[in-house]
């Protein structure tokens, strides 16, 4: 039996990015969201509690074929407040939805499926943070849809044109996500092509490219591949991403990947393990690996308690004693 929470959020999350081929049934807006609190105990660091997220989402059909969604996030007890996304979507055509506004880029799968309520291992895997800067939302236009490809299978596509990243020559990619500044830059373009099979297999390939430093004519291009397989409570997934970043001091190639396995032993117990790695040019303190392993406990269809240990390893600098224990309580509503 598939837990109610899996069915519910398996439907809601794609809708938060855009919508399915069939328009939302009811008129009006629905309020939903998620929240999570964490206790972290880092080796050699300070134990702390963190009210990490309270995210409120408004989603629904306004009128006819017009759909709307928005999310406001309150992070770290309200110290950070931001608009995660806010867009309108036109849903009349069967095989294409038109989205305009601020949306989460469907590059790969983790960027969209990053919320703690969905992510079965606490924290972001290496690479899906400093290589591709999760969570990355942008302002622009998105076209997405799918076409049948045999019995209960389909080919999906996403294509977008957005403001893009902006930053200094050779700068950190994560710090380039602010797309509200009035800066001189070209727009970024990107897309994802996917295949979803009836056996529970989802494959995808993504790219995203544009000039991040207009003054120096510098471009950054991301490539990624992702795969997920789900069957009878078993889930295996992984993603690889590479960023080719122009810089006047020498071009930079940054890579990252993760692989994750989870198994729903009972409706309330789900152990999981994740391995991830990130590599930067030269000898860098961002050449790192981690293994996270632990268990998810589901006291209800609305909550998950995750207890995980994270073993960190530096690969090109001296080892640091920075392993970490995380206890996370997350709810979806």
**Rounded (5°) CA angle 220-236-120:** 80
Q: What is the DSSP letter of 125?
A: P
Q: What is the CATH number of the domain that holds 300?
A: 2.40.160.10
Q: Which residue range forms the structural domain that includes residue 160?
A: 4-332
Q: Which two tokens stand for residue 44?
A: 């050699």
Q: Yes or no: say if 125 and 274 are a contact pair by the CB < 8 Å rule.
A: yes
Residues 47 and 224: their CA atoms lie apart, in Å, by: 35
Per the model's pLDDT, the better-predicted residue between 272 and 27 turns out to be 272
Q: Cα–Cα distance between 70 and 103 in angstroms, integer?
A: 9
pLDDT tens per residue across span 211-260: 999 888 999 999 999 999 999 999 999 999 999 999 999 999 999 999 99
Alpha carbon distance 285, 14 (integer Å): 35
Q: What is the pLDDT of residues 43-64, one digit of tens each?
A: 989 999 999 999 999 999 888 8
Write the CB contacts of 300 (distance below 8 Å, at least 6 apart in sequence).
none
Confidence of residue 18 (pLDDT cuts 50, 70, 90): very low
| pLDDT-based confidence at residue 23 (cuts at 50, 70, 90) | very low
pLDDT tens digits, one per residue of 72-117 = 999 999 899 999 999 999 998 989 999 999 999 999 999 999 999 9
Which pLDDT score, from 0 to 100, does residue 1 have? 39
Q: Is the pTM of this model over 0.85?
A: yes
The answer to whether residues 245 and 220 touch, using CB atoms and an 8 Å cutoff, is yes
Q: How far is CA 36 from CA 49, 86, 331, in A?
A: 11, 22, 6
Q: What is the per-residue pLDDT across 140-151, written as a single tens digit (0 to 9) for each?
A: 999 999 999 988
Give 156-194 pLDDT, tens digit per residue. Answer: 999 999 999 999 999 999 999 875 555 555 689 999 999
Categorize the per-residue pLDDT at 204 as very low, low, confident or very high, splitting at 50, 70 and 90.
Answer: very high
Q: What pLDDT score was predicted for residue 6?
A: 43
More confident residue, 274 or 94: 274
Q: What is the mean pLDDT of residues 25-41?
A: 85
What the block records as the tokens of 234 is: 């078993």
> What would the two tokens of residue 286 be?
């961002």
Q: How many domains does the chain have?
A: 1
């Amino acid at each position: 039996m598939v837990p109610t929470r899996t069915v519910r959020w398996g439907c809601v999350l794609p809708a938060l990015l855009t919508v399915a081929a069939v328009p939302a049934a009811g008129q009006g807006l629905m309020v939903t969201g998620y929240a999570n609190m964490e206790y972290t105990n880092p080796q050699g660091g300070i134990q702390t509690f963190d009210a990490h997220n309270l995210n409120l989402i408004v989603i629904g059909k306004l009128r006819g074929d017009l759909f709307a969604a928005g999310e406001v996030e309150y992070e770290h007890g309200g110290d950070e407040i931001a608009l995660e996304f806010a867009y309108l979507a036109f849903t009349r055509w069967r095989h294409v939805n038109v989205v305009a506004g601020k949306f989460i880029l469907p590059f790969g799968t983790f960027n969209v499926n990053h919320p703690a309520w969905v992510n079965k291992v606490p924290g972001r895997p290496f690479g899906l943070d400093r290589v591709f800067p999760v969570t990355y939302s942008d302002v622009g236009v998105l076209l997405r849809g799918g076409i049948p490809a045999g019995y209960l299978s389909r080919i999906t596509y996403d294509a977008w044109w957005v403001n893009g990243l902006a930053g200094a020559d050779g700068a950190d990619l994560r710090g380039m996500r602010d797309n509200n500044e009035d800066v001189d830059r070209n727009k970024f373009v990107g897309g994802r092509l996917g295949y979803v099979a009836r056996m529970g297999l989802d494959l995808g390939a993504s790219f995203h490219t544009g000039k991040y430093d207009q003054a120096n004519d510098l471009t950054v291009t991301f490539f990624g591949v992702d795969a997920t397989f789900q069957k009878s409570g078993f889930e295996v997934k992984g993603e690889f991403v590479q960023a080719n970043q122009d810089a006047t001091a020498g071009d930079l190639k940054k890579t990252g990947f993760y692989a994750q396995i989870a198994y729903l032993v009972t409706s309330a117990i789900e152990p999981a393990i994740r391995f991830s790695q990130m590599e930067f040019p030269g000898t860098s303190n961002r050449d790192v690996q981690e293994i996270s392993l632990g268990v998810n406990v589901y006291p209800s269809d609305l909550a998950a308690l995750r207890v995980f240990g994270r073993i960190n390893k530096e690969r090109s600098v001296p080892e640091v004693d920075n392993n970490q224990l995380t206890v996370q309580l997350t709810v979806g509503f």
